[in-house]
Amino acid sequence: MNIVVQKFGGTSLSTDERREMVIEKILKAKSQGKSVVVVVSAMGRKGEPYATDTLRGLVLKHNSDCGLRTLDFLMSCGEMISAAVLAATLEKYGEKPIVMTGAQAGILTDEQFSSSEILSIDENKILTHLERGSIVIVCGFQGVSNEGSITTLGRGGSDTTATALGVALNAEYVEIFTDVDGIMTADPNVVPSAKIIDEINYEEVFQMADKGAKVIHPRAVEIAQRENLLVRIKNTLSQHPGTSIHYSKNNGGSPYSNRINKRLLTAITHQNNIAQVFVIFDNDFKRESEFLSTLAKAKISIDMINFFLDRKVFTINEGQIPLLKELLEELQIPYDIKEKCSKVTIVGSRITGIPGVMATIVEALSRGGVKILQSSDSHSTISCLVPEEDAIKAVNLLHDAFHLNEE
Has 214 been labeled as part of a binding site? yes
For residue 318, how far is the Cα from the chain centroid?
Answer: 20
> Which of 86, 92, 149 has its CA nearest to residue 116?
149
Q: Which residues pair with 177 in a beta bridge?
A: 8, 234
- Per residue of the chain (407 residues), give pLDDT as tens: 899 999 999 889 989 999 999 999 999 999 999 999 999 999 977 778 888 888 888 888 888 889 999 999 999 999 999 999 999 999 999 999 999 999 999 999 999 999 999 999 999 999 999 999 999 999 999 999 999 999 999 888 999 999 999 999 999 999 999 988 999 999 999 999 999 999 999 999 999 988 888 888 889 999 999 999 999 999 999 999 999 999 765 444 455 554 445 678 899 999 999 999 999 887 777 888 888 899 999 989 999 999 888 889 999 999 999 999 999 999 889 999 999 999 999 999 888 778 899 999 999 999 999 999 999 998 889 999 999 999 999 999 999 999 998 86
The alpha carbon torsion through 244, 250, 210, 19 (nearest 10 deg) reads 10
Has 20 been labeled as part of a binding site? no
Has 9 been labeled as part of a binding site? yes
How crowded is the C-beta side of 103, counted as CA atoms within 13 Å? 13
For the chain, helix (H) and strand (E) counts, in that order, are 11, 18
Segment 331-363, tens digit of pLDDT: 889 999 999 999 999 999 888 778 899 999 999
CATH 3.40.1160.10 is the classification of domain 3-179: yes
CATH homologous superfamily for 267-401?
VC0802-like (3.30.2130.10)
Has 79 been labeled as part of a binding site? yes
Has 131 been labeled as part of a binding site? no
Has 10 been labeled as part of a binding site? yes
Q: Report the 10 Å Cβ neighbour count for 305.
A: 11
Q: 255: buried, middle or exposed (CB in 10 Å: 19+, 13-18, 0-12)? A: exposed
Q: At what angle do helices 357-367 and 391-401 cross, to 10 degrees?
A: 130
Torsion over CA: 205, 209, 210, 213 (sign): positive
Has 7 been labeled as part of a binding site? yes
Q: Do domains 3-179 and 267-401 have the same CATH topology?
A: no
Has 215 been labeled as part of a binding site? yes
Task: Supply the pTM of this predicted model.
Answer: 0.87
What residue spans define the domains of the chain? 3-179, 267-401
Residues 250 and 191: beta-carbon distance below 8 Å: no
Q: Which residues pair with 121 in a beta bridge?
A: 107
Torsion over CA: 196, 198, 199, 202 (sign): positive
Has 8 been labeled as part of a binding site? yes
Segment 207-219, tens digit of pLDDT: 998 888 888 888 9
Give the Cα separation of 171 and 227 in Å (integer). Answer: 11
